[in-house]
Structure 1
Amino acid sequence: MSFSEEQFTSKLNALDETQESIVNASKWLLTQYKEVDQIAHCWKRFVIRPSINTRRKFLAIYLANDVIQQAKHKRVGDFGTAFGKIMPEVLSEVYPELNQEMRRKVKRVVDIWKQRQVFSEPVIEMVYSKLREPSKGASRIEEAPSAKIAPELRQLASIFDQLTKSQGGISSTKTKFDSSLEALDPNSAVYSENYKTVQRIGQVAKDALQKSMVNRQQAIKELQKLLDFQNEQASQDQFMVGEIDEVLAAKDPQNSNPNGSLEAAMMPTYEETDESDSDAEKSDIEEQGKKRLPSTAGIENDNFKRQKSIISDAGAENLETIEAELYEPTPAEVAANSPVTVTSSIQDLLSKLAN
């Protein structure tokens, strides 16, 4: 079977911390010993790729260690020479990215390489020199403490950490399931037993995937909470911007009345009325009232003439008595102001003069 870079990349992505995972991938690589140079360069491209997380790069170094030592012990291929050419360059890129615990373990692997003379002395010296000279950017990454993560992001970071750790096991189990399913032979005498084995492997893969799905749903909820919170904060920020603009506009010295706009906005508004129209309406009402009242001007003139004639005939001796009684109207006379009331008064006066 010819070497497949896609298949090798799949195996690198499926690695986990178990010895079984590392050994199985190492055995497969040993069967591809004729393509050792291609294997080494494919491994290098994978490990230095920025999109690959540090845990996966760390496991790839463990795989390289196992395949190099197994190849030397079994005298299969020339893996030591092929990986020795690229190892110093790869470690110079990867080692600074690793956390403190991973660095300690890689340093231990390099010590084993030196003890067992896996690589030549010049290669080992170059590797050690790369371990002592981490890049400045990587140092900043290592020194960034997790405590500086915002409180709102800690739960989300924990969930993503679990997802990252579980992906290796999921990929490994799925690969194992695919391999066992491919090897399942319906014509085999133990087909039923083999099928049960494949079924158990499939159930393990399903359980791992179900757990991953739960974590992803939780991550979605946490992300939605963060999104809702940020939208709310953005609305509040926008409101405060408008509030600041309004206050500044009200206090602007170019405004003739800096407080006028605010006061005008707070005062209620009414419909304006036309005073001339009101006066006209009032005049119309008064005029209509006058038209409704009966005219008494003619009656008053006739009564005055009659009274004057009676006074002339009565004589001077009764003048004072007549004037007193004549110009002392009763309230009923003033209110009524009617012809019937005036006539009654004249009759009373004539009766007095006759006596």
Structure 2
Amino acid sequence: MSYSEDVVISKLSSVNETQEAIVNISQWVLFHRRYADQTVKTWAKALNDAPAHRKLALVYLANEVVQQSRARKREEFLKAFSPTIAEALENAYRQCSPDLQAKIRRVVDVWRQRTVFPDDVLKGIETRLDDADKKKPKQISGGRRIGQGMAFSLGLPLELSKLATAHSDVQSKVNTLGEAVASANKLYSAVTEADALPAPMEYASQIEKVLTSVNGALKASDDMLQSRHELIRQLEALLSVNKAALESETNQHGVLEEKKQKALDLQKEVSDMILGNISEPSNDDTNHDIDIDYSEDRNSPLDKEEESVVPDPVYKPLSETKPSGEKAQALSGLEGLDPALVNFLSSLGEKDGSSTPPVL
């Protein structure tokens, strides 16, 4: 198969973490070692654009290529990777989860143990990865970190985390699919719409390129369809959960409204009872200090006793005294005298048993 950038993109888009896929693609890459610079440039772009779960496969592919190059004592890819490998790995490392980062670190450790790259290149890689670790966002609730994709941001609940992951996966594949489809369409049009047919061998080579490109586009399309179906499934699951919750909460709201109305009615009844007791008091609550019936109290034994102890006046005016006939005749000559004197003289007469007071 002849070399072209579209073919490289197709190869890289189909790579996965299986040993078979990595070995087969690395052999094709090594066969076209004279295009090492262009291949590494395309690889770096694919690594940057790939979703997190595919970045590790591309790192494994680079590892296979450079280790095979060193074993075969071919310097093309070692020289091509050296200027760009540190930056490419740092970008991938920053976008990966901790478990993927640990696997990338493991690859770098193998490179140092086997002296795959010169010491300055290895030191540059390790320095960049260390800097990436130092600049990690602070931990938030749930142990997730901001900046590691939507699924790991903001301490999202499990349902939203799954949805965010599915959405991020779809978005990461949009550019890959678009590039693969555009390349396949371009090659297909060039072959099928040519004004004149080339020589059979050249024509067969062109058709092979078209098939390779179309297969790559189909692979990218399959990946996109799977991701899109997963996103829709997560959306439907989230929608279903929220619809059920909405129905339950609506019923609960209605029950609370009924309880509120019953409490208001009960409050009104109690208020009316309180106001009724204030406006119409019972006999026990009557204020006796306001209306008192004295009709019976005037003849009570207490009042009669009080009347019995009231002393008689020391004397009574003559006008209020009604003496007997004989006494009246005896006192007729005493008119004009002081009443007190008259009474005194009268009492002397009574003591002597005489009805006639003494003549003064």
TM-score over 0.5 (shorter chain): no
TM-score by length of 2: 0.44
TM-score by length of 1: 0.45
Give the greater-gyration-radius structure (CA): 2
